[in-house]
Amino acid sequence: MYKEDCIFCKIAQGQIPSTKVFENDEILAFRDINPKAPTHILIIPKAHYETLSDVDNETLLGKLLQAVQQITKGLEIEHYRTVINNGSGAGQEVFHMHLHILAGRKLDWPPG
């Protein structure tokens, strides 16, 4: 549930500060410290799962996508991309599962 050396567990616990944009019992969303787009938000389950592949709670998976809807609606963001990097080969650097919301600029497709 909580991993001692995990930076996102520390953010979820409030031990490391973050700019929060959404929070409930199970989920936290905050601004990315090194944004790759004018709007770059990270959504995490408060419980520690290393990767998307490790999330065995289907209700939570649905809630994470509902959080994307709520956050983008609340911020009136119509055009956005949601990304989940699963594993280092896919660009994952922080091994606490998270979704990215990217918006505010033209996003290339296909991605690099």
Residue 26, interface with ligand 5GP (CB under 6 A)?
no
* Secondary structure element (H or E) that encloses residue 66, with its range: helix 58-74
Piece of the chain touching ligand 5GP by CB under 6 A; list 28-36, 50-58, 72-80, 101-109: 28-36
Residue 93, interface with ligand 5GP (CB under 6 A)?
yes
Residue 80, interface with ligand 5GP (CB under 6 A)?
no
On the 0-12 / 13-18 / 19+ scale of CB atoms within 10 A, 109 is exposed
Quick one: what does residue 37 bind among Zn ion, ligand 5GP, none, with the CB cut-off 5 to 8 Å set by partner type?
none
CB of 109 to ligand 5GP, least distance (A): 18
Strand segments, DSSP code E, in 1-108 are 20-23, 27-31, 39-45, 80-83, 99-103
